[in-house]
Amino acid sequence: MRGLVKIVEGVLGALLVLHALCASAATWVAPESFKTIPVILEKTGEHVLLYDSGDRASGAIYAVSGEYDVIALELVKLVDAQFGIATQDSSGAGSFFGLNDYSDQEVPDPQARDLWRHLWIDATSKMKATGFVVEGFSQTRIESKPYNVFANRNANSVLLIRVLDSSQLFGIPGALVLLYRRDAAREWGFANPHDPFSFGYKMHVRRLVTKTEDALLESWARQRKLPSKMVPFGSRPLPEYLKEWTEVRQFLESAKRQK
């Protein structure tokens, strides 16, 4: 009888993981779908990840079932082999506010940066109030060397990854891999969409996820036989996405029950 119960539990666990995988299928679009095609995408033809709203995703959370230390080390090796490592560091005192790494180039207006910081602090406080751990967790930060380099347009892509220890965040073994790509290039357009006088041939910086980065992560997880799930997020402060954080936590819980 106990054997039958274990079999049923295993099947239910597998169904829960399958449901989690199918519940939020990612949406990808070709560069031609955008009104103005960014120069790098125009040259590479890479498909871009969308958020639920239909807007371009600013990044993605990959929930990976396994051991944090092993996953972090392997991702460092993976990025190094694919693009090279520009910077890398690890800390045992990570915080959600510390994930706010928008550069001055991405948010050039000082007042906009101050507003963004206040929004991030407020969102982190609300996240903590709902019972999420928001500080004191282990993390590994990885920044790749530039790729997709087009010198005539001062263009390049950089992959940025934060690996968070889900056992300290959720009490569940695994890792949360926060991933986005930062594309920079000189292009015609508005540096500030709210300022009609900002039009010109200027450096534009945007965050996105393409099939290139997604295929790298998915292929690695598949080869290592590690259950994983990708959830996109939009352009708001990361702590605001409570639905997405809950979704990846439920996935890791399901993966743990299946073992």
Largest CA distance in the chain: 74
Is 9 a residue whose pLDDT tops 70? no
Return phi, psi of residue 236, to 5°.
Answer: -80, 165
Angstrom CA distances, 191 to 124, 180, 188, stand at: 28, 21, 9
Question: How confident is the model over 24-68, as pLDDT tens digits?
Answer: 578 999 999 988 899 999 999 999 999 987 889 999 999 999 999
Residue environment code for 158-180, b if the CB has 16+ CB neighbours within 10 A, otherwise e? bbbbbbbbbbbbbebbbbbbbbb
pLDDT recorded at residue 44 = 97
Question: How confident is the model over 184-203, as pLDDT tens digits?
Answer: 999 877 666 667 777 777 88
Give the residue-averaged pLDDT of 85-99: 91
pLDDT recorded at residue 161 = 97
Task: Determine what percent of the chain is predicted with pLDDT higher than 70.
Answer: 87
**120: burial class by Cβ within 10 Å (0-12, 13-18, 19+)?**
buried
Is 20 a residue whose pLDDT tops 60? no
Give the residue-averaged pLDDT of 96-114: 76
Return phi, psi of residue 234, to 5°.
Answer: -95, -150
- Higher pLDDT residue, 17 or 211? 211
Ramachandran area for residue 9 (φ above 0: left; ψ -120 to 50: alpha; else beta):
alpha
pTM: 0.85
Which tokens sit at 54? 């239909």
Give the residue-averaged pLDDT of 110-122: 86
